[in-house]
Structure 1
């Protein structure tokens, strides 16, 4: 492989900058945003959100600007018109930073992915929007694909070389380049070097590509001996499975959807890769393979519709099920088209898929609107069933008159809804102003005197907990098991943090022990471990001390009424109960031959539901220390 010289790279960069100014400007903006986020690790939620949105917008802006450039070049537009179209594309892409906000809506991650996919597809055909030029379209995308692989290879080699040089300076000269230096280096290589190198290889004269009849022999070998055999194996397995479920008359498993889509991807990709040579002598079998592929897609799509429909009927529409339905309809359309028409235009594949992708991003027909309405309808039905929908508004649920399993399912549904779509879509059914609630929760801090805001994940969790409490579902969790269900949490903490250690020689602090911990001092070897978080064992030399944590916790739970005098009134959640107890109540003393040991607990949390018969409390790890006296 021949690597380009510095002079060639410099000339190529200047030429690329002249041809693609908007594209490189977006690449620079995204690279700077990525650098700042790496460099400033302790960002607050708002700043981190804007940096993420800036990086996403830069990606979309680069793709849309490149599409505009390719379109204007293919139409040989005047400089003025070309600039106006590219400027309009850049302005539109830049405005997306005010629309996409994944820190507030989890669904915006998927929206970004869909927009990026649609704009990638737009790049594929932007220079070939006119009639014909099918061969030029194929040659153009082949060139882009090979250029992309070359750019990645050059970028990886450059990164490894510079990273090795940085590591050498750290070792030889005691420099202190930390891990973030390597991350920033990678960001700049991917953001600027590989992008510039890729753009430099984008064909300018796209019209001339229609006359290019070259075809890589390795591509035919890869398609003929790898992709086509793989797709054949998939279809045989799927057809055998379809026969099986027809004989057994049972619903197909959910995984079958992924297998059908994999078969479709392998098949369509293989047909696209061999498209230019399908008419060549010796390749007539490719036409037979193409027709059989699309013919076999029809029964498999029927299986896909049944698999998705069964889950939609039971659980409603989610984004993933929406995409499966749309892809199934698209594959049916493509299959019918290639079976019915002899004159086939492969440009229809990216064009139609791009349009469907854009339609699924925003609007009442989008994946998010359809799935949001479907999931919200499930929540509404739960409140209607329990007579908690008063004058079109949700009323708090009476937890004593609701089936625990149904309530847990509703809580799980509510949890999914809030994390996916935020609180705002529930506004028509909530009396309180959710905009004010969102603002209030967003200003929460761990310390009232601190300016550090909670993270976006903590904010989503706070919204979920607020709506769960507001609707009277705070007694239920997102899962249900009749034998053992956790809906109450009891935390016992020492009232005083200052301990009197007079009379003891050592303090052994294992912290929140999860397995075992060993240490030694003055010839004494100590080993601490736990058994199911219920029994804590300390071994000092040859002596063993056992501490029954479960017995201590059970004593508290059996006497909760007596413990009420220690209960704290201010609770974050209704299911959480905090007790500040005298330090003596959280101590267990043991005496041995050579040592006396006092286990001192700082905090202990027990989760369980005492009203359910045969329920077993759960004992998480405790914060504790051992005080040891040598006799």
Structure 2
């Protein structure tokens, strides 16, 4: 007869988990409550930024608190020390998140991900800092954590799918009106409290005499590594070594994205190395023995390729946040190779420890990714401004300068550009708080160019207010409508003005579209207009509204271009997609 866990056992396990991890539970509940608030609010709510940052803070605090709990559990120090350390780490995490702008930028999101990864890595070794290190115990602890994450994710997904289907069934079968946000609330309840408490319940105790961390190696893990990961590594290795041989014999430069392929190889290889570590020296595991012995030697030529690719990009275009992290990982991998090849008894905890410290190293201080990228691009901009004093820039240099200004305005305050060329920019900054790239470069006497290797083959335009301007003043006009390249308007007698019915029909043509109002067809010559207007060129930043006026027998039509893109061939533009607004005045 099957044995099912009683509610009493569930309550007991939940209570024990909460007692063992009280701060982690509070962080989980706080994040879940703020997530529910966020889901319940309407789009554009002024508190959205606050709720978003509260959720991100809760996520970081949860992981930070768990690291502290594992450390003090292993060290057996007083509970007050644990609380104090948790509050300090949690306060720093909250301050870090709330330093972000309300509209979190891509770089700030990147910083959050790096800190989150660093804190997760801290969980892997925090409990082994205050105690004597045992390799097998460390491996077993992290294996159990890894399997618990997978199990918690599986349970949570199945539970959510089942309950969501039950809600749909009740809604359809009993014809109930249910708020669609109920699915968001359900997801939060399962992904938050349920998933987290389920995971925390399975976190192994490091200093537990009753349940020691004895090595237990799953057979499935060996087969997964041997028959999936190792063949993948071999494939990547062959490709990369052949490519490296090619660029050496042809004396060519490596393409930029090869560095990402080397990093993927290294990550999969290190994961495989960690997975097979307990049995790598066992008899009968020839594949494992060979891989364990040669992996770090095979990394050496690929590290050369990685440094060659990333240093060339940095030399040519300076540091960005992405290039900084690629170089940082290259340095980290080099230290890893030196450590494992030079140490007689290497400890695998060096891998998460060193990567955790590398992540923290990149976040704060003058050596951080943010500051190094700023310093590098500002130096490049200064060199171009100095060169402008003696000679005119080439198109390639103007393109580089455009990308630098775009990068600075996207990731930093516009004010930092002013000191570089104070004489030329003072008037512009006096009239505008946030000048655009085009305006800054124009003040410096430089033409703006979009940074796109294929920009000469394509064009695109987007009116800045096209996504947010839903209410218009159409005084002087009678009708307003939005037309796209795919949506056909075909309505009969759908509008009544001054006791007269109006019908509308749009039809796509090679030259644009035909607009039929009642019995009159008006040709909207979009192609000719786009080809005659320089404002659609890629060399001009899109800021100004572009309008086109067409007169017919009974109507005056003003076309406002909201979005448009297409191809350029033989200096002729061909429209692919468009979205336009028509303002129609009846004569």
Of 523, 529, 548, the residue aligned with 2:507 is 529
1:198-237 counterparts in 2 under 5 A?
198-206=199-207, 212-237=214-239
Inter-partner Cα distance in structure 2 for 1:112 and 1:607: 33
CA deviations 1:378-422 (Å, max 9, x no partner) are 22222222139xxxxxxxxx9xx7656644442332122221233
- SS of 1:281's equivalent in the other structure is coil
- SS of 1:410's equivalent in the other structure is helix
Inter-partner Cα distance in structure 2 for 1:256 and 1:483: 25
Inter-partner Cα distance in structure 1 for 2:166 and 2:562: 53
| 2:511 equivalent to 1:547 | no
Please tell me whether the aligned partners of residues 115 and 358 of structure 1 are also in contact (alpha carbons under 8 angstroms). Answer: yes
Of 401, 404, 409, the residue aligned with 1:413 is 404
| 2:67 equivalent to 1:67 | yes
Inter-partner Cα distance in structure 2 for 1:375 and 1:3: 63
Please tell me whether the aligned partners of residues 102 and 109 of structure 1 are also in contact (alpha carbons under 8 angstroms). Answer: no
Q: Relative to 1, partners in 2 of residues 1:255 and 1:602: Cα closer, same or farther, differing over 3 Å? A: same
- Aligned counterpart, 2:559: 603
Q: What's the Cα RMSD here? A: 4.1
Structure with the larger RCO, 1 or 2 (CA within 8 Å, 6+ apart)? 1
Q: Relative to 1, partners in 2 of residues 1:271 and 1:100: Cα closer, same or farther, differing over 3 Å? A: same
Q: CA deviation at 1:15?
A: 1.4
Q: CA deviation at 1:146?
A: 0.9
Inter-partner Cα distance in structure 2 for 1:577 and 1:526: 26
Q: CA deviation at 1:331?
A: 1.0
- SS of 1:93's equivalent in the other structure is helix
- SS of 2:488's equivalent in the other structure is strand
| 2:201 equivalent to 1:181 | no
Please tell me whether the aligned partners of residues 67 and 123 of structure 1 are also in contact (alpha carbons under 8 angstroms). Answer: yes
Inter-partner Cα distance in structure 1 for 2:543 and 2:447: 6
1:495-506 counterparts in 2 under 5 A?
497-498=475-476
Q: Relative to 1, partners in 2 of residues 1:125 and 1:471: Cα closer, same or farther, differing over 3 Å? A: farther
| 2:482 equivalent to 1:515 | no
More displaced stretch, 284-293 vs 68-77: 284-293
Inter-partner Cα distance in structure 2 for 1:538 and 1:57: 53
1:40-439 counterparts in 2 under 5 A?
40-44=41-45, 47-101=47-101, 103=103, 105-129=105-129, 130-206=131-207, 212-283=214-285, 285-387=287-389, 406-423=397-414, 425-426=416-417, 428-429=419-420
CA deviations 1:33-61 (Å, max 9, x no partner) are 2222221132356x322222111111111
Inter-partner Cα distance in structure 2 for 1:285 and 1:538: 71
Q: Structure 1: which 5+ runs fail to align?
A: 389-397, 442-461, 501-506, 559-572, 590-597, 609-613
CA deviations 1:341-398 (Å, max 9, x no partner) are 231210100011111110011111111111111122222222222139xxxxxxxxx9
- Aligned counterpart, 2:582: 624
CA deviations 1:15-36 (Å, max 9, x no partner) are 1111111111111221122222
Please tell me whether the aligned partners of residues 587 and 599 of structure 1 are also in contact (alpha carbons under 8 angstroms). Answer: yes
User: Whose Rg is larger?
Assistant: 1
Q: Relative to 1, partners in 2 of residues 1:280 and 1:62: Cα closer, same or farther, differing over 3 Å? A: same
Aligned residues: 552
Inter-partner Cα distance in structure 2 for 1:421 and 1:188: 37
Q: Relative to 1, partners in 2 of residues 1:179 and 1:602: Cα closer, same or farther, differing over 3 Å? A: farther
Q: CA deviation at 1:214?
A: 1.5
Please tell me whether the aligned partners of residues 601 and 622 of structure 1 are also in contact (alpha carbons under 8 angstroms). Answer: no
Inter-partner Cα distance in structure 1 for 2:108 and 2:383: 27
Q: Relative to 1, partners in 2 of residues 1:272 and 1:84: Cα closer, same or farther, differing over 3 Å? A: same
Inter-partner Cα distance in structure 2 for 1:96 and 1:155: 30
- Aligned counterpart, 2:544: 576
- Aligned counterpart, 1:478: 450
- Aligned counterpart, 1:393: none
Inter-partner Cα distance in structure 2 for 1:272 and 1:215: 12
Please tell me whether the aligned partners of residues 515 and 524 of structure 2 are also in contact (alpha carbons under 8 angstroms). Answer: no
Please tell me whether the aligned partners of residues 71 and 127 of structure 2 are also in contact (alpha carbons under 8 angstroms). Answer: yes
- SS of 1:586's equivalent in the other structure is strand
- SS of 2:373's equivalent in the other structure is helix
Inter-partner Cα distance in structure 2 for 1:94 and 1:626: 53
Q: Relative to 1, partners in 2 of residues 1:315 and 1:4: Cα closer, same or farther, differing over 3 Å? A: farther
- Aligned counterpart, 2:537: none
More displaced stretch, 177-186 vs 599-608: 599-608
Q: Relative to 1, partners in 2 of residues 1:148 and 1:4: Cα closer, same or farther, differing over 3 Å? A: farther
Q: Relative to 1, partners in 2 of residues 1:345 and 1:486: Cα closer, same or farther, differing over 3 Å? A: closer
Q: CA deviation at 1:624?
A: 3.0
More displaced stretch, 325-334 vs 415-424: 415-424
Return the TM-score normalized by structure 1.
0.76
Q: CA deviation at 1:181?
A: 1.8
CA deviations 1:301-353 (Å, max 9, x no partner) are 00111111111111111111111111111111111221222312101000111
Q: Relative to 1, partners in 2 of residues 1:19 and 1:495: Cα closer, same or farther, differing over 3 Å? A: closer
More displaced stretch, 339-348 vs 281-290: 281-290
1:440-459 counterparts in 2 under 5 A?
none
Please tell me whether the aligned partners of residues 274 and 348 of structure 2 are also in contact (alpha carbons under 8 angstroms). Answer: yes
- SS of 2:360's equivalent in the other structure is helix
Please tell me whether the aligned partners of residues 136 and 206 of structure 1 are also in contact (alpha carbons under 8 angstroms). Answer: no
Q: CA deviation at 1:286?
A: 2.6
Inter-partner Cα distance in structure 2 for 1:105 and 1:623: 30
- SS of 1:511's equivalent in the other structure is strand
Q: Structure 2: which 5+ runs fail to align?
A: 466-471, 494-501, 535-540, 565-569
Q: CA deviation at 1:210?
A: 6.3
Return the TM-score normalized by structure 2.
0.82
Please tell me whether the aligned partners of residues 134 and 210 of structure 1 are also in contact (alpha carbons under 8 angstroms). Answer: no
Inter-partner Cα distance in structure 2 for 1:578 and 1:510: 16
